[in-house]
Amino acid sequence: MNYDKIEQAAARRDRVRRAVTYTLLTLWALIVLFPFYWMLLSSVKSYSAYNGEYVPRFFTLSPTLQNYVDAFTTVNLARYFTNTLLFTAATTAIMMVVIIFAAYAFARLDFPGKNLVFALFLSLMMIPGELVVITNFVTITNWGMRNTFWGLILPSVTSVFYIYLLKENFEQIPEELYKAAKVDGTSDLKYLFKVMLPISQPTVVTIVILKVIECWNSYVWPRLITDDEAYFLVSNGIQEIRENGFGRENIPAMMAAVVVISVPLIVLFLIFHKKIMAGVSRGGTKG
């Protein structure tokens, strides 16, 4: 019965291995989730309760929403929030128009110099944003667009990478469909909006979501281009709140603001997590 023993030992080793694996994964999941839990927890503790705890408690029995009221009344959180919504919506919408037309021209139309222009476009993907920010800052300043929405929006309404992604997608649509549409007398534009875009919808949605995430989190450019609080986005708002917000280091109120800022993207992620992860693994870069 030696054979049985070997099998038992192997099964035991398997169990141990699985236990170790799950422990490791759970540990990392806790490390990932803990900051979110902590911000939520701190945001519902009252100011006095929070500051009275030398050893912070891991739960609270008397949650309060007062901090959320403070976050919206003491600082301009609602303003930052609507600014960011407006900025995100406008930037994404304009970018979609720009890249859809560019991708369409590259994918469906033939014109002399197309390959050369496309190669030049692709080579622009290698340029780090840090190099061009300096001149863009000067350009926008010279145009008198500091502290305006246009100044915030204009430099980020094109993306070579998304043009490339969409073009690849457009090219997969069979040529026959285009010819059939032509025979029926469909105009190019109508074909683009009635046939190509609906077929490419998954890619379009992915691009929109990735751009929305990028806009919502953008910090550097808005910080350079706005110093008037009326045009702050949430990232700048958070810095503003931190440096001269609630006074006396009102951390619970700060955390309430952080929760409000984080929730939209987390909701978006929970709804679209498959799409977002697929999109990022196809071409997101960060980190």
Site for another protein in 87-106 (CB under 8 A): 97-99, 101-102, 104-106
Closest separation in Å from C-beta 219 to another protein: 5
Is residue 232 within 8 Å of 222, Cβ to Cβ? yes
Is there binding between residue 107 and another protein (CB under 8 A)? no
How far apart CA 230 and CA 151 sit, in angstroms, is 14
Alpha-helical runs (H) found in the chain: 2-44, 47-52, 66-73, 77-108, 114-124, 129-142, 149-153, 160-171, 175-183, 188-191, 197-199, 201-217, 220-225, 234-244, 251-283
Find the part of the chain contacting another protein (CB under 8 A) among 65-73, 121-129, 167-175, 199-207. Answer: 121-129
**What is the Cα 29 distance to its own chain's centre?**
21
> Segment near another protein (CB under 8 A), from 3-11, 70-78, 137-145, 165-173?
137-145
Asked if 60 touches another protein (CB under 8 A), the answer is no
Q: Is 144 helix (H, G, I), strand (E, B) or coil?
A: coil
Minimum Å gap between C-beta 201 and another protein is 20
Q: What whole-number distance in Å separates Cα of residue 243 and Cα of residue 247?
A: 9
Start-to-end Cα distance in the chain: 54
- Part in contact with another protein (CB under 8 A); list of ranges 54-62, 67-75, 174-182, 194-202: 54-62
Candidate segments 19-27, 61-69, 73-81, 199-207, binder of another protein by CB under 8 A: 19-27
Comparing CB distances to another protein, the nearer of 102 and 208 is 102
Q: 228 — phi, psi (to 5°)? A: -95, 125
Q: Which of residues 200-219 bind another protein (CB under 8 A)?
A: 213, 216-217, 219
Examine residue 158 and tell whether it contacts another protein (CB under 8 A).
yes
Cβ 227 to another protein shortest distance, Å: 9
177 vs 219, beta carbon nearer another protein: 219
